[in-house]
Amino acid sequence: MSDPFLWSAGNAPDDFESSNLPDDHPLRRLGFWRPELDFLPREATEAFVSRLERWSPLAAAIDKALIPLGFHRHDLDKAPGGVNIAPWLRDDGVAVGWAFKDFALYDDEALTAKVFAAMNPALEALLRARGFTTEVISAPDDDAGQILVTGLTTERE
């Protein structure tokens, strides 16, 4: 899976005046803009925004459940590595998986496979223990090996 946090809103300008976005553009609903998004087809942007709007509360609950266990959320701008939580990636839930702090490690395919084989099942087990409904995304899906979180059955502190 490519790093969905490359789409982080952390570097977005405070105003939309420098963008070419019309007033009714879906990114304006989020208060989110990056210059590289101006050229995307509106349908793709609408899908992106709709997923964020639908799945962000669940992503926040995942983050809240994992922080007390010692995990931090992967964020390229602040804290790379850790748990990659992507509410905009899929229509059927939130994709969750492990991310390296040092992206050069992804070049070592054997190491990458071993780390993901250890960390993603551990994350799934922890999420289930915290009351989330999960499943492993299977091949040939692009996100194969990641965890799909579709709901929270019981909230635990």
What's the token pair of residue 142? 């692009």
Q: Are 12 and 77 in contact (CB under 8 A)?
A: no
- Quote the pLDDT of residue 34: 62
The yes-or-no verdict on residue 140 having pLDDT over 70 is yes
Closest CA to 60 of 28, 30, 101, 96: 96
Classify residue 87 by its DSSP letter: T
pLDDT of residue 59: 93
Number of H helices, E strands in the chain: 3, 4
- pLDDT tens, position by position, 31-87: 665 666 667 787 888 888 889 889 999 999 999 999 999 888 877 667 667 898 999
In this structure, the number of other CB atoms found within 10 A of the CB of residue 36 comes to 9
pLDDT tens track for 93-120:
999 998 877 666 777 888 888 888 899 9
**According to the model, what pLDDT value does residue 36 have?**
60
Alpha carbon distance 103, 30 (integer Å): 29
**At 30, phi and psi to the nearest 5?**
-90, -15
Amino acid at 94: V
Q: State how far the Cα of 45 lies from the Cα of 122, in Å rounded to an integer.
A: 33
Euclidean distance between CA atoms 125 and 107, whole angstroms: 27
- What pLDDT, on a 0 to 100 scale, did the predictor assign at position 35? 63
The answer to pTM > 0.85 is: no
Judged against a pLDDT cut of 50, whether residue 7 lies above it is answered with: no
Higher pLDDT, 140 or 75: 140
Looking at residue 92, its pLDDT comes to 94
